[in-house]
Structure formats: C-alpha cells, structure tokens
Chains A and B, each alone.
Chain A
Amino acid sequence: MVLGATIALTLLLAAVFLKVRKQIRLFEGLFLWFVISMLTEDFITLLTVNLKWVRESHDLTLFWSWVLLRSSIQPLVIALFVNSFLQAASWLKKGLYFLLVWFVLQMLNWVGEQLGLFHSSPYPYVLFSIEWAIALGIAIGLVQGYRRLVQREVRAL
C-alpha cells in the first residue's frame, strides 16, 4: 500500500510538473533533477548518518518507496518550487513559495518516517530544516547558473 501510494504520488507530481512547467527548460530540468537528487542523498550520507536511512530498512516494499522518495518525489517537489519561484512576480510571493515548499519537504520527511520508509534516524529535525532551506536556495542557483551558461554559449555560437 505504501509503495502504491508512493508510485501514485510520483506520477501525480510528474503530471503536475509537466502541466505547469513554464519557467524550466528541458536541460535545466534534467540538470536540476540529477544534481538535486544527488544533493538530497549527500545531505544524508555526507553530513551525518551515512546511509542509515537505507541500511535500516529491510522491507523491500518500503525500500523501493524510499528509492522513489529520494530519486523522484523530492526532486519533483523542488522542481515545482523552482518553477513557481521563477514565475512569481514579487519577492513576497517568492518568499511564501519558499516557506511553503520548505514546509512540504519537512512534512514529506515526517510522513516518510511515520510510514517506516526509514527508521530511527538519529538525525535531528532542525538539521533537516536547515538542509532543505539550503537545497531550495541551491536549486534556484543551479537553474539560473545553468541558464546563464547556455545563454553565453548561444551568444558565442
């Protein structure tokens, strides 16, 4: 059931992203997906628990749900955020999107832990909060930096 719900959520988020994607171009999206997916893993692996999330889950269904969470759901939520952030006209709106998605990402963590996608992580939640805030900032920087690089190369063609 958890795996089914995770697959459904992934498909739903992907459909929403494809529908509303206006600000993110194809290769910016791919670049963002690959980097953010690695980044979310590295926040976990490098900073503290060294794959404790994965290592402690022996249930295959939960394990695949966890794989989907880190490789698709989290990057899709962040991609949706970047799209909305770039679309927002005022800084107030941008700030609100930032807070909203930051909250959603933490809820995803909390729900994931309640469902048993990862167990007894000794990771303090305050660190998660800081990490997600950094991840959102990095995501925007990545898309804009990549866009500038492409623009410079196109001009040089």
Chain B
Amino acid sequence: MILYPPESFDFNEWVVIAQCAVLLGVFIRLPRRLPRSATLVIWVFCMYLVRQIDFTIAVKPLNYYDWMDRTQYEIFDALMYLLVYPIFGYLYVHLLDKHQFRGLRFVLYVLGWTLFSTVYEWINVVSQVLNYKGWKLLYSPPFYLATFLLLTFLYRLLRRYHPAMAPLQHAQKGDRAPR
C-alpha cells in the first residue's frame, strides 16, 4: 500500500482540510520577508522535526498516539506534515523576523506560541484528528517550547549566515543609526 485513504471520510478529515485551506490562504497572502531558499529550509525543518517526533513516539514500542483514523501512515497524516506544521513554523519565524523580539518580549512570544500550539493540539484531540493512546496534553508544552527554541536558533543561523538574507529593514529600538 502506498498511502492509506481514511477509513471513513467524516468530521476529522474536514477539520484537516479546513486547516490546510486557512493556513495556505494565510501563507499565500503574507508579504514575503524571507528568501525562498530560507523559507525552504524552515519548511523542511518543520516537516523533519514533526515526523521525527511522530515516527519515534507515535510508533511501537512507545506508540503514544495516532493521527486520524488508522495506525498506519495515511493521506491526511501526510497533509498535516506537508502543510499544517510547516506553515505554523513559517508564521512563527515570519513574525519573529518582523518584530525582532528581544528579552522579555521574546520570552512572552515563545510562551505565547507554546500556549497556542497546546490549545491547537487540544482542538485536534477534540475533533479526533489526533487520538491519544497513553499521551496526555500536559506532556506536549515542553515539546512545543523546545521546537520554538530550535526554530529560533535556525532563524538566527539563517539571519547570520545565509547569503541571500537581506539586511533587516527597520531599526531596532535603541539601535543607533549607521554613520
């Protein structure tokens, strides 16, 4: 079997389709701040990270949760990996790049995204997109926190070393104008 179809096309499939549609709409309408090559790295990093976590703790012997109807890898799992999580990751980096949060504002920004992701996961659990088999919502925030810190690290690497990153457009509060 290549990719399994859903067992029954019902509410959870529609939830995934709605998420994909909304997020794609947001992504397309966003003004482009980062070069395509940097967006590509962020995109594949998010896919990679989510899949590494899922393919490690959501399969036997640990097997803490399942996506969608089946225990196997199905089409709607692939949509979550391909679109939903990478766009969330991109949005996080986009806003970080736009506002250049530092200090307490950065801490609040990361905590805000962690809280948002946990609530988003809860919505997915309620709508049976995600089915726990021993996992608890309480376990997730540390993973999200670590994910956003890793994304921040990747963003800083891109800002510092990526040759196609344009210089920041706006001066930071307290920055001196170049002479």
Contacts and interface: CB of A to CB of B under 8 A. Distances in A.
B55 A51 contact: yes
B44 A27 contact: no
Contacts of B163: 150, 154
B56 A50 contact: no
B18 interface: no
B149 interface: no
Contacts, number: 78
Interface in A106-157: 146, 149-150, 153-154, 157
A30 interface: yes
B111 interface: no
Interface in B1-20: 1-4
Interface stretch (B33-41, B93-101, B138-146): B33-41
Nearest to A48: B1
Contact of B45 (A34, A46, A50, A150): A34
Interface residues of B, number: 32
Give the interface residue-count category, chain A. 20 to 34
B73 interface: yes
A38 B3 contact: no
A35 to B, nearest CB: 6
A36 to B, nearest CB: 10
A15 to B, nearest CB: 21
Interface string B40-82: 1100110110011001100111100000000011000000000
B41 A27 contact: yes
Interface stretch (A6-14, A54-62, A87-95, A97-105): A54-62
A148 to B, nearest CB: 10
Contacts of A45: 73
The 8 nearest A-B residue pairs measured at CB: A153-B164, A34-B48, A34-B44, A54-B59, A58-B61, A153-B35, A55-B60, A150-B37
A37 B48 CA distance: 8
A25 to B, nearest CB: 8
Contacts of A150: 35, 37, 162-164
Nearest to B43: A34
B30 interface: no
Contacts of B47: 34, 38
B109 to A, nearest CB: 24
A128 B37 CA distance: 31
Nearest to B162: A27
Given A31-B41, A146-B40, A154 B59 contact: no
Contact of A58 (B38, B56, B60, B164): B60
Nearest to A55: B60
Interface in B127-178: 154, 157-158, 161-164, 166
A46 B164 contact: no
13 contacts: A27-B158, A31-B44, A34-B45, A34-B47, A34-B48, A38-B51, A46-B3, A50-B72, A55-B59, A63-B61, A150-B37, A154-B163, A154-B164
